Amino acid sequence: MNILDEKIKAFNYEDSLLYDACIKGNEVMLLDLINKGEDINRETLFGNTYLNIACLYNRVNIVKLLVENGADINKGDKDGNTPLIISCIREYTPIMKYLIEKGADVNKENKNGTTPLLFS
């Protein structure tokens, strides 16, 4: 195994741990990863953000932990969909309210020119 293979393997492993913590709502795992220095603002292998993943799975507790620990509240995925846009599409009102209270940009457009207001 060369150095590139080792880095890819390590990235995939770390990626899956953060991903698992977000989709399963595992606060303990997420905090442990954050405390170990994991970058919660980096994109997944598929161009998503961990905050977007938490929003997609309606994990309010994980959304709050990510935001409180510095997740970029307005960073979009590969299509420009922000956490607020995803929450509006899914009609997850508690997450929408929380993100707006924390300063999410209600006018930020995705790559199709759609804003969160058009989904709500």
Q: Which two tokens stand for residue 20?
A: 């698992």
108: CATH: 1.25.40.20
Q: Identify the domain containing residue 90 by its residue range.
A: 3-119
Residue 13: pLDDT band with limits 50, 70, 90: very low
Residue 8: pLDDT band with limits 50, 70, 90: very low
**54: CB partners within 8 A, 6+ apart:** 22, 23, 62, 63, 66, 83
Please state the length of the chain.
120
The reported pTM is 0.85
How many independent structural domains does the chain possess?
1
pLDDT digits (tens, 9 = 90+) for 86-113: 999 999 999 999 999 999 999 999 999 9
